[in-house]
Amino acid sequence: MKLITAILKPFKLDEVKDALQAAGVTGMTVSEASGFGRQGGHTEVYRGAEYTVDLIPKIRLEVLVDDADSASVVDVIVKAASTGSIGDGKVWTTAVDQVVRVRTGERGSDAI
């Protein structure tokens, strides 16, 4: 099993979520995140004083999938999240040892 973690532009969340659901993904976890990459921060102005804000808001989306689905789900996310401009984010996968569904106690692939 794999945990797919994606950092996205906030406004792309709906498209990515719809694309994942269309691809048969049945669950995900979404949280607000902040950070920076090559895009860097941005500038804000308060009463004429300019501040460079390093951390900019992003969405972190996490999906658990079977090993076999991992590559195709990553492709779905990348395709839906892409605008072609800097700051589109990143997607990575992590190996997962065990998954348990709390309600039923199912383990492994059955719990996804």
* Footprint on this chain of other proteins (rule: CB under 8 A): 44-53
Q: Which helix (H) or strand (E) holds 64?
A: strand 56-65
Between 50 and 97, CB nearer to other proteins: 50
Whole-number Å distance between alpha carbons of 19 and 7: 16
In the complex, what is the shortest distance from the CB of residue 49 to other proteins, in angstroms, rounded to a whole number? 7
In the complex, what is the shortest distance from the CB of residue 41 to other proteins, in angstroms, rounded to a whole number? 10
Between 36 and 108, CB nearer to other proteins: 36
- With tokens 């792309």, the residue in question is 12
Whole-number Å distance between alpha carbons of 18 and 100: 25
Between 49 and 68, CB nearer to other proteins: 49
In the complex, what is the shortest distance from the CB of residue 32 to other proteins, in angstroms, rounded to a whole number? 11
Residue 97: DSSP 8-state: S
Contact in structure between 109 and 65 (CB atoms under 8 Å): no
Between 26 and 31, CB nearer to other proteins: 31
